[in-house]
Structure 1
Amino acid sequence: MHRLGRYLDAPDEWLPSLNRANGSARQQRTERSVACIQLLRASLKYLDLLTMRVGVPSTGGGMQNLTLPFLAGQAGLDQRRAERAMRDLQKAGLTSVRPRCERGDDGNYRGLAAIKYVPPALFGAFGLAKWLRHERSKAALRQQRRAAADVKQRWRDARDERERARGQLWLAGLKNGVAERVDRSRSGRTGTSCGKVVDAKAEFERQIQIRAGQIKQANPSLDHETCFRLARQQLAPPRR
C-alpha cells in the first residue's frame, strides 16, 4: 500500500498498463491516478492473501464480498469517481471482477456484491513477489492450523456430549435402582430400631450415588471412583 505511491511520481516506470488505461497516449491525469491508487489501497486493506480475494472472512470459512460503494467510502471517493477508477484498474489488469446475482421469490434477479481479486503480479511490479509467496505460505499454514483446531474442538464437543448423556443415563439408573433397594429394605424392617439404622445407611448411600451421578454429569472427564470419593467427601457429616 505504501509503495503504490511511487506510481504517482513515475507512472510509466511502475504501472504502465494503468497509465495507458484511458486509451490515450497522454499520461493519466493526476486526480484520476490518485483515485485509482486510493481504490487499490482500499482493496489491499481487505485482501485475503491466501485467495487474493477482496473481502471479509465469515463464519464457516466463507468470504463476504465488498461492494464498490463500500470500497469508495474506504478510499474517500465519491461513487462516480470510484466507478471510473474501477474501470481503469480492470483495463490495466490490476483488479478482476466477477459479477454475481441471485433469483428472488418473484422470479426477478437481484445483483449482489461482485467478487473482486487482486493479481499477485501487482506485488511483483513493486519488488514484493518473494515477500508475497512467503506471506501466502504462512497464511496457508495458519488456515491449516485453524482447520485442525476446529476439527479437534468438534471432536471434544462430541465426546463431552456423549459423556454427559451417559452420565444422565447412569444417574437415572442409580436413582431407580437405589430407590427399589431402599423400598425393599424398608418393607422388611419397619418398626424396628435396626430397620431405622439400615434405612438411614441405605438413604445415605442413595444420596452418595445420586451426588456422584451429578458430579459425573457436570464433569464428564472424571472417572466413577473419583466421583464417588468426591460425593462422600461432600456428604460426610461434620465431625463433632
Structure 2
Amino acid sequence: MSGQLHARRVAALPPGLPNPPRTGAGGHPRVLTELMHRLGRYLDAPDEWLPSLNRANGSTRQQRTERSVACMQLLRASLKYLDLVTLRVGIPSTDGSMQNLTLPFLAEQAGLDQRRAERAMHDLQKAGLTSVRPRCERINDGNYRGLAAIKYLPPALFGAFGLAKWLRHERSKAALRQKMRAAADVKQRRRETREHARGQLWLAGLKSCVAERADRSRPGPTGGSGGMGFDAEAEFERQIQIRAGQIKQADPSLDHETCFRLARQQLAPPRS
C-alpha cells in the first residue's frame, strides 16, 4: 500500500477510538496487548494479514476503511476481556463462572455505534475470527428471553500475527495458575471447616462446664449452697467464660488464652 493511501485510510478513522493498553498494563497478559497492537497491521495490508476478513463481504474489492477499523476495534475490545484458558470473552466471577458480555457493551468499549458493531461482528463471524453461541432462558409466561451470547476468539487469530507459540505458552501458564488457585481455595475451605468444628466442640464443652457450675451453686435442701456458693465473683467468672465462648465462635482461629484475655478486657469494670 502506498504511503498516500495509508495516510488517507488513517485520516478516515473516526475520532475518539480507544487505543489498546500498553504492554502488560492493566493486568492484561502481554500476549493479548501485543495482539491488540499488531491488529493495526491489518489496516495497512488486509490481504496479507487477514485475507478471510478482507473478503468477508463477498466482494473482490478491498474492505472499506470504516468497516475494517470497526472490526479491529471490536476485536480489541474482545481481547480486553479474553480468558486465556478458554479463549472465551467475558468477566470471571468469584464462583468460577463467566459473565458473558453483550454486543452493546463491547460496542461501547470499542467506540462504535450499535449498527456498525453489528456489521463488524457479522464480518468477524463470517471470516472465522469470532464464534458466537446464542443463549436464552424461559420466563414465566412460557416465552423465551435472549441472554448475552457466549463469544470465543480462535487461536488462528493469534497465529495470523505470528503469536501462536506465545499463546500456547501463556495458556499453559494460565491453566496452571487456575489449578493452583482452585487448590488453594479448597485448602482454605477445609481449614475453615476444621476450625469451625473445633470452635463448636470447644463452645459445647464450655457451656457444659458453665451449666455444671451453676448446678453446684444452687441452694441445697438445708438452705445452704450446694458447694462453692453463688457470689459476685463466681458470676463474673461465668460471664467471662460465656463471653470467651462467643469470641471463639466468632473467630475460631483464636486460641484459648486469647479468647479469655479479650473477654476479661471487655468485661472488666471501669476504673474509678
TM over 0.5: same fold?
yes
Report which of the two structures shows the higher radius of gyration computed on alpha carbons.
1
Match of 2:173 in 1: 138
Checking the alignment, whether the CA contact within 8 Å between 1:43 and 1:71 is kept in structure 2 is yes
Structure 1 residues 3 and 186: CA distance shift in structure 2, 3 A: farther
Match of 1:117 in 2: 152
The whole-number CA distance in structure 2 between the counterparts of 1:27 and 1:231 is 76
Given candidates 136, 150, 154, the residue that maps to 1:101 is: 136
Partner SS state of residue 23, structure 1: coil
Match of 2:25 in 1: none
The whole-number CA distance in structure 1 between the counterparts of 2:219 and 2:258 is 26
Checking the alignment, whether the CA contact within 8 Å between 1:212 and 1:230 is kept in structure 2 is no
The whole-number CA distance in structure 1 between the counterparts of 2:112 and 2:222 is 88
Partner SS state of residue 175, structure 1: helix
1:171 to partner: Cα distance: 2.4
Structure 1 residues 209 and 145: CA distance shift in structure 2, 3 A: farther
The whole-number CA distance in structure 1 between the counterparts of 2:166 and 2:243 is 56
Q: Does 1:218 align with 2:253?
A: no
1:18 to partner: Cα distance: 0.6
Sequence identity, in percent?
A: 68
Match of 2:104 in 1: 69
Partner SS state of residue 60, structure 1: coil
1:81 to partner: Cα distance: 0.9
Given candidates 55, 60, 70, the residue that maps to 1:25 is: 60
1:56 to partner: Cα distance: 0.7
Q: Does 1:199 align with 2:229?
A: yes
Gaps of 5+ in 1: none
Partner SS state of residue 51, structure 1: coil
One-letter code aligned to 2:229? D
Structure 1 residues 27 and 227: CA distance shift in structure 2, 3 A: closer
Structure 1 residues 24 and 231: CA distance shift in structure 2, 3 A: closer
The whole-number CA distance in structure 1 between the counterparts of 2:234 and 2:184 is 42
Deviations 1:116-167 (A, max 9, x none): 0000111111111121112111211221122112212211222232233223
Match of 1:165 in 2: 200
Relative to its length, the structure with more helix (as a share) is 1
Gaps of 5+ in 2: 1-35
Greater mean alpha carbon deviation, residues 154-163 or residues 33-42: 154-163
Match of 1:150 in 2: 185
Partner SS state of residue 21, structure 1: coil
Match of 2:79 in 1: 44
Cα RMSD (Å) of the superposition? 3.0
Checking the alignment, whether the CA contact within 8 Å between 2:135 and 2:146 is kept in structure 1 is yes
1:31 to partner: Cα distance: 0.9
The whole-number CA distance in structure 2 between the counterparts of 1:32 and 1:231 is 68
User: How many aligned residue pairs are there?
Assistant: 230
The whole-number CA distance in structure 2 between the counterparts of 1:28 and 1:233 is 78
1:1-20 alignment to 2 at 5 Å? 1-20=36-55
